[in-house]
Amino acid sequence: MQWTKVLGLGLGAAALLGLGIILGHFAIPKKANSPAPSDLDLEILETVMGQLDAHRIRENLRELSREPHLASSPRDEDLVQLLLQRWKDPESGLDSAEAFTYEVLLSFPSQEQPNVVDIAMTLPPPPTVGPTGDIIHSCHRTEENVTGEQGGPDVVQPYAAYAPSGTPQGLLVYANRGTEEDFKELQTQGIKLEGTIALTRYGGVGRGAKAVNAAKHGVAGVLVYTDPADINDGLSLPNETFPYSWYLPPSGVERGSYYKYFGDPLTPYLPAIPSSFRLDLANVSGFPPIPTQPIVCSLGCPVNVSVYNRLELRNSSNVLGIIRGAVEPDRYVLYGNHRDSWVHGAVDPSSGTAVLLELSRVLGTLLKKGTWRPRRSIVFASWGAEEFGLIGSTEFTEEFFNKLQERTVAYINVDIAVFANATLRVQGTPPVQSVVFSATKEIRSPGPGDLSIYDNWIRYFNRSSPVYGLVPSLGSLGAGSDYAPFIHFLGISSMDIAYTYDRSKTSARIYPTYHTAFDTFDYVDKFLDPGFSSHQAVARTAGSIILRLSDSFFLPLKVSDYSETLRSFLQAAQQDLGALLEQHSISLGPLVTAVEKFEAAAAALGQRISVLQKGSPDPLQVRMLNDQLMLLERTFLNPRAFPEERYYSHVLWATRTGSVATFPGLSNACSRARDTASGSEAWAEVQRQLSIVVTALEAAAATLRPVADL
């Protein structure tokens, strides 16, 4: 029997060895064709910078904006296939590419019954519904076909996405920007609002907020228009506007989503996949409460408004392309841009997609040649249905929540790559400031002279830093693009990159043809970026940042830069709220201590990194330090901090409605408490918000201390 035992042991060992080989094959990343990078390769960086081609970006944009590509439309699906084809190309493609499809609730105007706005001589007697026989003027339903591109069958009629259908009729009341203060001012003047139609202009508050504010005062419907003073520097004549300049033609109408939240309306906090629970339409919140319509025309009163929008379940796809990391494949650098547009969308979002395709082509070519593979994985993303409320990116973060939170180094967003060609504009969380500055100092700025992008940027947007002196200023991240779920929901260090205009030369709140049928290739080619050098500058900036984040041995995220933000928030609280809080026996002492602890921990971590950089550190040590840098942003999340705000859980960057530029929860709670007569419950919420901030800062400091310490 002894020989059978020996045979059995031998067979068992062979089986275990075979199993180990199989598991190893799938668990260990395949070797790159080139040696694994030990740190950022400056020669590779220079090669990438030199190969990013402005002409190719221009041709990408021509193709992307050739036809309208509203989310879920046939042309949108064609672009899904274009991205997959590019990212699977044998000579310039990525390691893998895949489309992820979600069934989401979108909103469209009826093709059978177009939305109309009519001016009547008198109001009909109740209960008349629908247009009356005394119509004296009807607003244009479509934009003028100025260049031959505005009249096609795929150009969607201007409408307010997610606004309910209805046929309100009433006297017209001008309500400025539709803010709560605007409607209160009308009431103060003795103007009766109930049953009226409010005429508002874009700006001031979000689109949907105009209808919410109006409904509170009994308004029956809302009209929204673009004021030439806000967008065109007051110019509005046909020969002063596109196609003769960058200004919006007189018939231009801004489309947009009027949904309050982001993500698929039927599946909040769940991915819109077949197995997910879906809300009944009756239980969906965040839609405008009354019929709303964007318009262009001179109005009198009374006004008849007929809105025939409809809700539809549609398939919308994200496309993901992956370059697998050679050393740390489980650490992701994400770079994303949405794909869908309201019409042709040459600026929004195709300028960003054109850059995305060129950047992935250059990196993919190096990858296929075997001359480079990043240390960490790079994920390129083309998001679907962003215009309806950041739907594609939100569904992605919901479906892969845990994986992304555990593994994502940073998220880079390039939505509109080029608003205009004057200067760089970057929004982001403080830790990304350092890598953005390092990248832009090494890239020449477009235009005359020999300035770097950094030096040109500092001329337009700057601030005085107590640590660095005069530096370019980074804007903060709100919820205007696909970075929102990454920073607010997942707590991932994020940034948004674009080239923009000189604000001293225009008062435009955004580029003038935004969300209109005049946002075309020729508009970009002739007026925004002739020669596409600004697109190339954005590609080089984003490319340099991607390589620095994916290839650097130590992650180039500087957490000590958060100290400036926290100190400024603390000082604002002390100066503007300190005396008020003392009156209610609320002390800022714990907040002062928490900020000081963070500052000390961040400085100590920076010193540890500096020491290790001078030697030959153990890779595991570096990995632990990098995880501390990566995970810092997560410590500022508290999903119960703002229960009334869906997805907003970042206690430093949540929406601030209070007037004091401090921690948003504290600012908002103090503002509400001052406006509340009873007070005690409201001041308890102030104390709660203060405790939430202190706890987050304590947790952040603990995360930055040596990993063996509590």
Q: Residue 419 belongs to a domain with what CATH number?
A: 3.40.630.10
- Residue 19 in any domain: the answer is no
Q: Does residue 675 surpass a pLDDT of 90?
A: no
Last residue of a domain, one of 280, 308, 336: 308
**C-beta separation of 367 from 323 below 8 A:** yes
When mean pLDDT is compared across 88-102, 133-147, 631-645, the lowest value belongs to 133-147
Domain of residue 627, CATH code: 1.20.930.40
Considering the domain architecture, whether residues 94 and 145 belong to the same structural domain is answered as: no
- Residue 7 in any domain: the answer is no
Q: Does residue 142 surpass a pLDDT of 80?
A: yes
Which residue did the predictor score with more confidence, 116 or 14?
116
DSSP type of residue 561? G
Q: Quote the pLDDT of residue 22.
A: 29
Burial 620-632 (b: 16+ CB within 10 A, else e): eebeebbbbbbbb
Residue type, 335: Y
Residue type, 369: K
- Residue 338 in any domain: the answer is yes
Last residue of a domain, one of 521, 551, 581: 551
Q: Does residue 469 surpass a pLDDT of 60?
A: yes
Burial 26-42 (b: 16+ CB within 10 A, else e): eeebeebebeebeebbe
Considering the domain architecture, whether residues 592 and 544 belong to the same structural domain is answered as: no
Q: Quote the pLDDT of residue 383.
A: 98
**In the block, residue with structure tokens 């009354």:** 290
Considering the domain architecture, whether residues 176 and 95 belong to the same structural domain is answered as: no
Q: What is the pLDDT of residues 30-74, one digit of tens each?
A: 444 455 567 999 999 999 999 999 999 999 999 999 999 999 999
- Residue 13 in any domain: the answer is no
Provide the whole-model pTM.
0.93
Q: Quote the pLDDT of residue 130.
A: 53
Q: Which two tokens stand for residue 268?
A: 């909040």
CA distance 369 to 321: 18
Q: Angle, nearest 10°, between helix axes 42-51 and 350-369?
A: 130
Domain of residue 205, CATH code: 3.50.30.30
DSSP string, 509-550: SS-TTTTSTT--HHHIIIII-TTSHHHHHHHHHHHHHHHHHH
All residues at 6 or more sequence positions from 639 whose CB lies less than 8 Å from its CB, including other chains = 649
Peptide bond into 243 cis (omega under 30): yes
Structural domain range at position 429: 42-99+318-551
Considering the domain architecture, whether residues 246 and 367 belong to the same structural domain is answered as: no
Q: Quote the pLDDT of residue 199.
A: 96
**C-beta separation of 447 from 533 below 8 A:** yes
- Residue 345 in any domain: the answer is yes
**In the block, residue with structure tokens 């520097």:** 233
Considering the domain architecture, whether residues 537 and 569 belong to the same structural domain is answered as: no
Q: Quote the pLDDT of residue 565.
A: 97
- Residue 47 in any domain: the answer is yes
Q: Quote the pLDDT of residue 299.
A: 72
Q: Quote the pLDDT of residue 125.
A: 61
- Residue 207 in any domain: the answer is yes
DSSP type of residue 469? E
Q: Does residue 277 surpass a pLDDT of 50?
A: yes
Q: Is 386 a catalytic residue?
A: yes
- Residue 24 in any domain: the answer is no
Q: Does residue 126 surpass a pLDDT of 80?
A: no
Q: Quote the pLDDT of residue 14.
A: 40
Domain count, the chain: 3
Considering the domain architecture, whether residues 601 and 513 belong to the same structural domain is answered as: no
Considering the domain architecture, whether residues 397 and 480 belong to the same structural domain is answered as: yes
CA distance 475 to 472: 10
Considering the domain architecture, whether residues 401 and 477 belong to the same structural domain is answered as: yes
Q: Quote the pLDDT of residue 19.
A: 31
Split at pLDDT 50, 70, 90, the class of 495 is very high
Q: What is the mean pLDDT of residues 581-605?
A: 97
Considering the domain architecture, whether residues 428 and 515 belong to the same structural domain is answered as: yes
Q: Quote the pLDDT of residue 669.
A: 95
Q: Quote the pLDDT of residue 9.
A: 39
Q: Quote the pLDDT of residue 132.
A: 53
Instruction: Classify the phi-psi angles of 40: left when phi > 0, otherwise alpha if psi is within -120 to 50, otherwise beta.
Output: beta
Considering the domain architecture, whether residues 354 and 437 belong to the same structural domain is answered as: yes
Residue of 103, 254, 386, 398 marked active site: 386
Considering the domain architecture, whether residues 366 and 505 belong to the same structural domain is answered as: yes
Last residue of a domain, one of 528, 551, 574: 551
Considering the domain architecture, whether residues 360 and 382 belong to the same structural domain is answered as: yes
All residues at 6 or more sequence positions from 153 whose CB lies less than 8 Å from its CB, including other chains = none
